Amino acid sequence: MRETRPVETTPARGDAVAPSAHRIPLTCDRLVTWADRQAGTVLVLPAVLVILALSIFPLLFSLYLSLARFQPVAGGFRFQFVGLLNYRKLFVGSEQEHFLGRLGSLGLFGWVVLVALAALFAVLLWRSLRAEPVTPLRLLGHGIVAVAGLAALWLAVGTIASGGRPGTLVVTWVYVFGGVALQFLIGLLLAVLCAQQLPGRRFFRVVFLLPMMITPVGVAYTFRMLTDTGKGPFAPVANWLGYANVSWVNDPWGARIAVMIGDLWQWTPFMFIVLLAALESQSPEPVEAAIVDGASRWQIFWHITLPQIAPVASTVVLIRLIEAFKIFDMPNVLTGGGPGTATESLTLHAYVLWRSLDYGTSAAVAYSLLFVVTFVGIAYVRLLHRRVTTLG
Amino acid sequence: MALHWRTSPTRPGPLAMLASYAILTVWALVVLFPLYWLAITAFKLPIHVNEGPTYVPFLDFQPSLHAWRYILVDLGNDTLRPYLNTVIVGITSSVLTLLLGAAATYGLSRFTYRIRLASVLVFLAGAVLAAAGMEFGLPWQLAVAGGLGAFALAWATALRRVGGPRLGNADIAFWMISQRMLPPVAIVIPIYILFQRLTLLDTRTALVIAYVAANLPIAVWLLRDYFQTIPIELEESAAIDGANRYQILWRIVLPLALPGLVATFLFIFVLAWNEYLLALFLSSAKAQTMPLLVAAQNATRGPQWWYMSVLILLMIGPVIALAIVLERYIARGLLLGAVRG
Amino acid sequence: MRMLSRRRFLSVAALTGSALLAACRGGQQATPTPVTTGGTAGAGQRFDGVEVNVITFTGPQIAEPLQRRAPEFQQLTGAKINVITVPFADLYQKILTDITTGTNSYHVLVFSPQWMADFVEPGYLEDLTPRVEADPALQWDDIAPFFRNFSALYNGRIYTIPLDGDFQMVYYRTDLLEAEGLKPPETWEDYLAIAQHFHGKDLNGDGVPDFGSGIAKRRGAQSYWMFWSIAASFLQSQGTQQGAFFDVDTMEPLTNNEAFARALEIYKETGQYGPPDELNWDVGDSRSAFVTGRCALTIDWGDIGTLAIDPEQSKVKDKVGAIILPGTKEVLDRSAGKLVACDANTCPHAINGVNHAPYAAYGGWSGAINKNAPAKVKDAGYAFLSYMSQPAQANVDVTIGKTGFNPYRISQFENIDLWVKAGMSEQAARNYLGAIKDSLNSPNMVLDLRIPGTQRYQGVVLDTVLSRYLAGELTTKQAMEELTKGWNEITDELGREKQKQAYRASLSIR
């Protein structure tokens, strides 16, 4: 716990606040002075302790679980240590196709997409590397990101290509990257519109927040009602268009898109509210100055507003990335992971195993997810987040 | 808002205004239609739901209060109790989260922390040993003692100034957010065991503790950026006036970060209000919360849409009220400019 | 009414006394009370101050009758019954976590006997055999033979008290079949033919084309039980003890042979006469579609019988017929893996040359007792379960749709009046009870899988393979190979010999 001890309490970033200079010999005041000196510790320690208390045990417990088999026995349970067997099952054994997917034939188009994405990735990485002096450690870090990123790209493009079948890992990526990008764009658009001086904007602001406030299970069931092709409100529309005998349910991408729409509906408000708060706290002077200089709306947005809200925007994207990796209720309720395993996310995969007492494999899936999220998180923070914020 | 000075720079032209309204209205419809569907489903008889879509009460179908009667009268206390629990747990945990989170964030944005990697590793090793001790049948008191020993050792390592890389503020913050990376299914059994040992199962306290721990990282991350935007000059002049850290935090920083605080509060409150899996495991009868009741409407006979809709509407009501009240405070963020000016 | 409650009261007094006596043999009871306590006060005091926590899922089904009868029971015996409910999908996890971690906050478990192996093998459940033997009020012999001899038993010992009878049947629309002069399906080929006949026609007069068949096929729901209802008659023909999942001698799955292939193909073909989004239907959808007249045929548990007479749900009141699950004229020859025609040897239980194998899917909600509960609480808990299952209570509850209880006692088929009172026409009641009786009397009833890891065999591997097969990701051959491989992997992981013994124990093979 003491590792949060501030070694130096010299304020960061030129903060020149000095401890109070008063030296009145009253115990109460002394206490205050002492507390003031220790402010760095006092402020952070409670939060660190609470998080630590509830995280360290589960983290280690499930790590061990992923290397073991769970057995109920008289009076309790027992773990049988099996080493990496659970992971082997996922990566090369019977769960491989379920977890990683099956590679299809890439074809010309597939190769073009793969090469284009890889090139884009390489350019981003290169620019990030060049932004600061190159040290061996940074080189190593970027090297790891490059290899892992390219492998992930290859897996994603290869399994999505014709003849292939994306496993739960790739499906989760689709939900996360596709979903978060859309949520961010729509959330930003709505926030910008709502930050204007429009009559009636309060109404829109409150309305736009609503989806976030419904319990995720409830949202998922609501969307199951809405997307039902027999009893849902859009059934007559589909009939009228001549799609009475077609259902999104039977098409893997149709089902995935249905899941993503539900997720989009629910989580755009989060992006919206945070970005709106950011837009409203930005300082008006630069905008006013730019208007005086005759800048266009778009120029103001691109060069002044966006950089100002970039730290918040980047944070909110990071939080959503982490949360989106855990997408569970929507596929579970909407499709149960079907058709086949087309809409199954990693968390759902872990949950199905967990529910059947296969705690070991379930924990292995969860830990694989943890690795992926940590990796994406660190890469995101290092490559992007630190560049738009002065914070880490 | 009375801040007329601000209206001129951002007031859009008529064409832009029309376009804005068009987009806003479309999205408002997208948001409202599912809610409308929920609202009418709450008044439908099962047969009206199952026969095929009907859209307008009285025209398409005869509304019925059967679902409301079941939830509010037949279930009675079985609805009220979870409802109260949800309110109490939601408010308590969010306020605590916000207090702890604001303090921690302020610390992280105004102090430099440097932790030795070595002491973290020693601590982790101690924790592993303690966990392994429990696994091999040591009494849990002993394991806790071992854990405390590990803390002490970690502390000692830090003191003795062993070399090695250090971790800074950014790493603490990342460590916090990383606690949300493991999917809930992986942590719920250990958390259950934890609270069972503390004999806190089926209490609201357990839920409050769990939610504070779960939502703190988000609060810290959301607040960091707002705290960042607060000009340091104000704090400096306050310090010269003799205010201590806590007074500065309470009187200057928090009021200035109000929009961020409100947005954050709203978000963590909603997370606590709607949480399912932890609530499922940490409660069994007395401390059950509303999301359990919603999920429970999908039982052996398929989802009971009508009951589910009523429950969702009951759950969303207070949150909407909260959003309407707090929305004013987000708007007050405009004052920040006034202070600066 | 006065008389009735007194009679009930006496029976409870007697049974609780005998339960106590049973407990006394274990030497745990500090103050034994004689069995013959007749007085009101004596028995009423017996469980005073005892609180029993009963866990089941959030109803109204199953939980409602327990909650409704708890105060009655408290009046009779003084024991306070707390019915704790959790969402259905998480019931199993919740109970198991509670017991494995030693929390033991639940004393009576009302759950699916399918989970029994996971609880009995590690010794979490109380052996109820002595209590049942000493409990005449329970009228054990009135419970249908299948539930009495197989469902409640594990390794020949009684662990659960049945509260509900679960097995699947085929439902059809009597009005439609009569109008076309068709007979209810006897074989699965008949089922397909009838489904095809009605598919695309308007069956409920709303001008929209309806479906020949509607079966719950959603992943992560009930699809694997529906499928096994089809497969069962191809796989099992020699009586319940033959088993329909594994070979009892080698523990080799019966999932890679001609019979299984035929069942898969029939299962897939039903989709041609079903709704377009059938892959996403759970029983909620198939039931509501059937009772609103959108399907001519469906496979389901007993629930449709009572749903169809509920005016809030149904448009097909008295137009619903039920029949024992259709069968087949060709069954699996296990040694060769081929289909062979039915004769006196291959299908000893055939009716009109058709082998029927009614499938007791899920097993019916039953009550069990946590072995780690305090002795007095166990006694009170048992008394409560017995009270719930006694004909005086159960025979009323099974006729009420809301309870979710389906018939499982012989006396429940004989008293047609109860069903007519509940809203069925006499003809519909006879038809419904006839189908139930045919199923329950069949010596070839299929016991659901109940060995350690049942959830993994069925809920994970089988469910996933079926979903992928229906989605066209796997061919019939691939599906069978995948399923067999997956099942063998679980068996080997949990120990083949141990699993075999458990499978034999579940079938009460000594």
> Following DSSP, what letter does each residue of A214-258 receive, concatenated?
S-HHHHHHHHHHHH-TTTSTTHHHHHHTT-TT--GGGSHHHHHHH
Are B34 and A291 within 8 A, CB to CB? no
Q: What is the CATH number of domain A91-100+167-388?
A: 1.10.3720.10
Whether chain C has a CB inside 8 Å of the CB on B303: the answer is: yes
Kind of pairing, strands A101-102 and A165-166? antiparallel
CB contacts under 8 A, B 112-171 vs C, are none
pLDDT score recorded for residue B165 = 61
Are C100 and A353 within 8 A, CB to CB? no
Whether chain C has a CB inside 8 Å of the CB on A392: the answer is: no
**Average pLDDT over every residue of A14-39:** 60
pLDDT over threshold 60, residue C25: no
C105 φ/ψ angles, rounded to the nearest 5 degrees: -85, -10
Question: Subunits with at least 3 CB pairs below 8 A relative to chain A?
Answer: B, C
Closest-CA residue to C138 (of C109, C123, C158)? C158
- Burial (CB < 10 A; 0-12, 13-18, 19+), residue B199, is exposed
Fold that domain C169-357+451-506 belongs to in CATH = D-Maltodextrin-Binding Protein; domain 2 (3.40.190)
Whether chain C has a CB inside 8 Å of the CB on A75: the answer is: yes
pLDDT score recorded for residue A42 = 82
DSSP characters over C129-179 = HHHHHT-GGG-GGGB-HHIIIIITEETTEE--EE-S----EEEEEHHHHHH
Q: A229-243: per-residue pLDDT in tens?
A: 888 898 888 878 877
Q: How far is B323 from chain C (nearest CA, A)?
A: 29
Residues in chain B within 8 Å Cβ distance of C283: 300-302
pLDDT score recorded for residue B144 = 67
Arithmetic mean of pLDDT over chain A: 84
C425 vs B133, higher pLDDT: C425
pLDDT over threshold 50, residue C429: yes
**DSSP element (H, E) containing A37:** helix A27-37
Domain locations along chain C: 2-165+363-420, 169-357+451-506
pLDDT < 50 regions, chain B: 1-9, 161-163, 333-341
pLDDT over threshold 90, residue C486: yes
pLDDT over threshold 60, residue A15: no
Cα distances from C272 to residues A74, A335, C68, C256, C432, in angstroms, run 49, 20, 44, 24, 28
d(CA B228, CA C386): 67
Closest-CA residue to C353 (of C328, C390, C376, C377)? C328
pLDDT score recorded for residue A187 = 96
Q: How far is B121 from chain C (nearest CA, A)?
A: 30
Residues in chain A within 8 Å Cβ distance of B100: 46-47, 50
Whether chain B has a CB inside 8 Å of the CB on A195: the answer is: yes
pLDDT over threshold 60, residue C278: yes
Q: C37-88: per-residue pLDDT in tens?
A: 333 333 344 788 899 999 999 878 888 899 999 999 999 999 999 999 888 8
Cα distances from A295 to residues A279, A288, A289, B37, in angstroms, run 19, 10, 9, 45
d(CA B198, CA C101): 13
Residues in chain B within 8 Å Cβ distance of A214: 274, 312, 315-316
Question: Subunits with at least 3 CB pairs below 8 A relative to chain B?
Answer: A, C
Are B185 and A351 within 8 A, CB to CB? yes
Number of H helices, E strands in chain B: 18, 4
Residues in chain B within 8 Å Cβ distance of A48: 104, 172, 176
d(CA C77, CA A115): 77
**Average pLDDT over every residue of A148-164:** 89
Whether chain C has a CB inside 8 Å of the CB on B281: the answer is: yes
Residues in chain C within 8 Å Cβ distance of B284: 55, 84, 86, 94, 98, 105-106
Share of chain A above pLDDT 90, in %: 34
Residues in chain B within 8 Å Cβ distance of A186: 27
**Average pLDDT over every residue of A124-136:** 82
Q: How far is A18 from chain B (nearest CA, A)?
A: 7
**The dihedral formed by the CA atoms of B64, B70, B76 and B79, expressed in degrees to the nearest 10:** -100
A101 vs B166, higher pLDDT: A101
Q: How far is A222 from chain C (nearest CA, A)?
A: 15
d(CA C104, CA C95): 9
- A vs B, Cβ pairs < 8 A, gives 398
Residues in chain B within 8 Å Cβ distance of A68: none
Are B296 and C86 within 8 A, CB to CB? yes
SS3 C69: helix
CB contacts under 8 A, A 123-182 vs B, are none
pLDDT score recorded for residue A16 = 37
Of the candidates B66, B193, B302, which has its C-beta nearest C101's C-beta? B193
Are A369 and B183 within 8 A, CB to CB? yes
Whether chain C has a CB inside 8 Å of the CB on B213: the answer is: no
Residues in chain A within 8 Å Cβ distance of C484: none
Whether chain C has a CB inside 8 Å of the CB on A188: the answer is: no
Residues in chain B within 8 Å Cβ distance of A273: 263, 266-267, 330
Whether chain C has a CB inside 8 Å of the CB on A76: the answer is: yes
A24 vs C352, higher pLDDT: C352
SS3 C295: strand
pLDDT-based confidence at residue C317 (cuts at 50, 70, 90): confident
Are B300 and C62 within 8 A, CB to CB? yes
Q: C350-384: per-residue pLDDT in tens?
A: 999 999 999 999 888 999 999 999 999 999 999 99
Q: Answer positive or negative: Cα dihedral of B117, B123, B124, B125.
A: positive
Domains of chain B: 79-113+168-340 (1.10.3720.10)
Q: Answer positive or negative: Cα dihedral of A102, A107, A113, A114.
A: positive
Q: C113-169: per-residue pLDDT in tens?
A: 888 888 998 889 999 999 999 999 999 999 988 888 888 999 889 999 999 988 899
- A vs C, Cβ pairs < 8 A, gives 116
pLDDT score recorded for residue C18 = 41
pLDDT score recorded for residue A264 = 95
Are C464 and A98 within 8 A, CB to CB? yes
Question: Subunits with at least 3 CB pairs below 8 A relative to chain C?
Answer: A, B
Fold that domain C2-165+363-420 belongs to in CATH = D-Maltodextrin-Binding Protein; domain 2 (3.40.190)
Arithmetic mean of pLDDT over chain C: 87
pLDDT-based confidence at residue C423 (cuts at 50, 70, 90): confident
Of the candidates C101, C276, C294, which has its C-beta nearest A229's C-beta? C276
pLDDT score recorded for residue B154 = 64
Of the candidates C87, C287, C292, which has its C-beta nearest B301's C-beta? C287
pLDDT-based confidence at residue A367 (cuts at 50, 70, 90): very high
Residues in chain B within 8 Å Cβ distance of C102: 196
pLDDT score recorded for residue A25 = 52
pLDDT score recorded for residue A94 = 86
Share of chain A above pLDDT 70, in %: 92
The contacts of residue C137 (CB under 8 Å, 6+ apart) are C11, C12, C14, C15, C386, C390
Number of H helices, E strands in chain A: 19, 4
What phi-psi label fits residue A145: left (phi over 0), alpha (psi between -120 and 50 degrees) or beta? alpha
- Are C138 and C161 in contact by the 8 Å Cβ rule? The answer is yes
Whether chain B has a CB inside 8 Å of the CB on A64: the answer is: yes
- Are C210 and C315 in contact by the 8 Å Cβ rule? The answer is no
C289 φ/ψ angles, rounded to the nearest 5 degrees: -65, -40
pLDDT score recorded for residue B141 = 65
Domain locations along chain A: 1-8+22-50, 91-100+167-388, 101-166
pLDDT over threshold 70, residue A158: yes
Whether chain C has a CB inside 8 Å of the CB on A162: the answer is: no
Select, from the ranges A58-72, A303-317, B77-91, the one with the highest average predicted confidence (pLDDT). B77-91
Residues in chain A within 8 Å Cβ distance of C219: 335-340
pLDDT score recorded for residue B37 = 94
Are C294 and A357 within 8 A, CB to CB? no
Residues in chain C within 8 Å Cβ distance of B196: 101-103
pLDDT score recorded for residue C21 = 38
Are A43 and B177 within 8 A, CB to CB? no
Q: How far is C108 from chain A (nearest CA, A)?
A: 17
Residues in chain B within 8 Å Cβ distance of C55: 284
Of the candidates A231, A250, A332, which has its C-beta nearest C279's C-beta? A250
Residues in chain C within 8 Å Cβ distance of B300: 57, 61-62, 88, 283, 303, 404
Chain C residues with CB-CB distance to B under 8 A? 53, 55, 57-59, 61-62, 82, 84-90, 94, 97-98, 101-103, 105-106, 206, 208, 282-285, 287-289, 291-292, 303, 307, 312-315, 404
Instruction: Report the residue of chain B nearest A81, measured CA to CA.
Output: B135
pLDDT over threshold 70, residue C421: yes
